[in-house]
A and B are shown apart, each in its own frame.
Chain A
Amino acid sequence: MSEARFSVGIDLGTTHCVLSYTEIDNENQQTQAILGIPQLVAPGQVEQREALPSFLFLPNAAQFDSQQLALPWSQEYPVTGQFARDLGQKTPDRLISSAKSWLCHSQVDRRSGILPIDAPEDVTRLSPFDASKVYLQHLHSAWQQQFPDAPLNEQQVVITVPASFDPAARELTMAAAAEAGLDHAVLLEEPQAALYSWIAKAGDNWRVQVSVGDIILVVDIGGGTTDLSLMAVSEEQGALQLTRIAVGDHILLGGDNMDLTLAHVVAQKLAQRGNRLQPWQINGLAHACRSAKETLLSDNDTQQVPLVVPSRGSSLMGGSLRAELTRDEVQRVLIEGFFPVVPADAAPQKRGRAALSTVSLPFEQDAAITRHLAAFLQKQKQASEHLHGFNGDNANSFMHPTAILFNGGVAKADNIVTRITEVVNSWLSSEQDNGLKVLTGIDVDQAVAKGASYYGQVRLGDGIRIRGGTAAAYYVGIESAMPAIPGMPPPMEAYCLAPFGMEEGTEANLPSQVFSLVVGEPVRFSFYESKTRREDQPGTRLDFWSEEELTELPEIEVTLHSDKYKAGDTASVQLLASINELGTLQLSAMDVNSDDHWQVSFDTRN
């Protein structure tokens, strides 16, 4: 890369995208600015906003004149951003939302046109991958329009992903960025970005606020997802060191669920008064509940907030629907529903799924975020063991964080922040530990983008860098060699390819296992990850594991094309794992008999 002038952070969010940038100046620390993103806000009207809502609308060919959908840089199809979101309120079948959650949905082909799921016949559907690409292209164009002399691809670009993204979702994000013209972009986990933003804001003072031995729990509750991470503060050669020691599972629960839940509560109340609501009114209610919720959760003096769902016709006074949301309802539905007081050994409740269901996102069955949090801390109780300076005192039944950082739109509600802190504190005091330090000061709407931009500077110069490497160990499944038993699949062994915490720009030691692969056609492997097995090294074989330890990921696929072999021949290969400088895991198959090697793909469903 030539000399980059800017460090650019892109928060490719589930509900909003934000781009933050900093001029790289080695003399002075610069603050992170936010790019105004031009987008359609009405037919023929383009406005710069600080966020690009992550929505795509696929209009009918006869719905608009082409100039009504023009952007400064192109005619736009699909409609992206605020206007797409507005259109989708009234025509939901043509709206793509939460594409990012689909991008990490391992049960679907993420590169095939499936969105919107309920689209009418005339719609050419887009893949989750395409949708991510469109957002990135939009951001790319917006940048280029404002900085024509500083091509974005020549800047230091950092794109954030959820910490819980699996290798395939990360690779797809990188591929989408490359197709959007950003092939030098680097990935960063969102909770890390939030912590970087906090460090940038705190300046040198951060070293006073946290100290060696601290474990920071980052709770990021966005519009659609909840992301959890643990960061440890240790000391190395006299300097403070930050290490990301654990990440949580992808939890599809966020602020939008809360707004919709409140809307249904109010709708029920209205139904009891004899008003049956239509779907558009529920949408309107959810919209009204969002701001009412923020008022009630931040201002303890307000007892109730009136809600009005405006009529669709022009008679506003005659046709509007009135209701109210009370403090008690918000307390009962949101605080007790999503953040109940639970013991430290709580586990998310599971209920049986219906045998038949439509293709949809795997929404959480248990809405209680505090239970997910409890499960995460239990699972990660040994996460700091390998770190120098942390005692491996395992009398504790769960990981004890000492500080907490909140991020995401939901963190604007003081009462939710307070409730989560109280619940974790009650767990800590049940095992005779002190309460949490609450780290504050970040702007929850922009922290991820700003933190990413800050991280870009850190990569180029000095400043504290959070270490961590991969948040999981990766395994490939091998069928055990044993006599066939009718009716029993041969038992599988898991063979470790990449250890936990593998750092960027490193390779795993080549495991000696040789695999036989058929040449000329795709060969598939079972693929597993573990977020808890920190001790396994490449080459470790497991013949037994519990369901909590190893999670099966989408199969990985390799196709060998070679002049040296005839199609149908078998080649002997070793698998090699590495993490490139951009932060994605790569697997290659190395021919043991020649210097051929092949790239292994994580995304097989196409």
Chain B
Amino acid sequence: MSVLELRHVEKRFGEHPVLRDVSLTLEAHRVACLIGASGSGKSTLLRCANLLEPIDAGDVLLHGQSLSDPRVDPNLVRREIAMVFQSFNLFPHLSVLDNVLLGPRYALGRDRAEAESEARTLLARIGLESRAGDYPDRLSGGQQQRVAIVRSLAMRPSVLLLDEVTSALDPTLVGEVLDLLRDLATAGTTMLIATHEMAFARDVASEVLFLEEGVIVERGTPAQIFDDPQEPATRAFLRRTE
């Protein structure tokens, strides 16, 4: 069964349509990459997927269950659909460790000691265990973004949404974040990734979706999209990114 599914999703900001008839299915342990120009609707799609933005039509399903059911609690949904942002959005008043612990403690209500040992293990995995007591502004952009990813993982989500997580980074720091995402993909983490890093998308994606003006123009395996795009719009976009 699919982990996350969007069915004919429509989203408008006022009169302006941002997503038009968007459908996609993400199976467990798969990675889907959304590519497209800035403003094509990638971020909005991710926000709709974890209910940060309400949708105007269509449906979002988690493990086959419709999330438009009024009985569904968005807070419970978001515990399973984690999100990482372009600008990290770490909490500046909390130490690295407390950033990672916030979700497990105050959303999941877990015991501090138990959650802490798990958080430290996660931080050790990205080589930042020694920085657990530091505040985010002492970390480099790449380190901050890796902490933000770990903060999401601490929720043990079913799916991870990543919104252009390397776009705000210094070029020299992009690699460490992408390496972490590669590791996660290898470990079987289900991910939906909006990205401008085409080489990375080609490496990790099981499916690539090209978005233009809120419409999924073309989708396929990385080989199909990058080596043999069928739509003129896709070809034009890929030419521009080279």
Is chain B a partner of chain A in the same complex?
no
Taking Cβ atoms with an 8 Å cutoff, the residues of B that contact A are none
Taking Cβ atoms with an 8 Å cutoff, the residues of A that contact B are none
